[in-house]
Amino acid sequence: MEFNLYMGDRTQASRDEIVTAGYQELTTPEQVDEVMQNKGTTLVMVNSNCGCAGGVARPAAAQIMQAEGKPDHAVTVFAGQDKEATEKARSYFKGYAPSSPSFALLKDGSMVTMVERHEIEGHQVDDVVAKLQAAMQQVNK
């Protein structure tokens, strides 16, 4: 199979998985800026085609949306695909280097914490969900 065709299929499947889980897909910098004006908690899932970490991050993203205390807003950008939207989202992640896949938790548009790739890759889905839940509980105190 041609590589670009395969990657296009893989990318679409990765996008669909996150949207089906309840995340709003942001594909432009303007959409990112608009969402960052929201009050409350916003969870940004930085999606990627990485098989190792992405195979943990996407199921964790779905599970956190079914958990108690889920975020007020859940959005996603796709690293390597929607480059300008991802760059704009990362401009809000003060104090953190680019990492994908990853999760950024913001409150009223301000950075709270991040679950970075090194905290996802090599870990279990439940471990990542627990980190996200702990972060949500901390910000909601």
Residues with a catalytic annotation lie at 50, 52
SS3 69: coil
Q: What number of CA atoms fall less than 13 Å from residue 111's CA on the CB side? A: 14
Provide the H-helix boundaries in the chain: 3-20, 29-35, 51-64, 83-90, 125-139
CA-to-CA dists, residue 64 to 5, 28, 112, angstroms: 31, 25, 17
Structure token digits, residue 108: 């009223």
What sign results for the dihedral spanned by CA atoms 71, 128, 84, 48?
A: negative
The residue assigned the tokens 């809000």 is 92
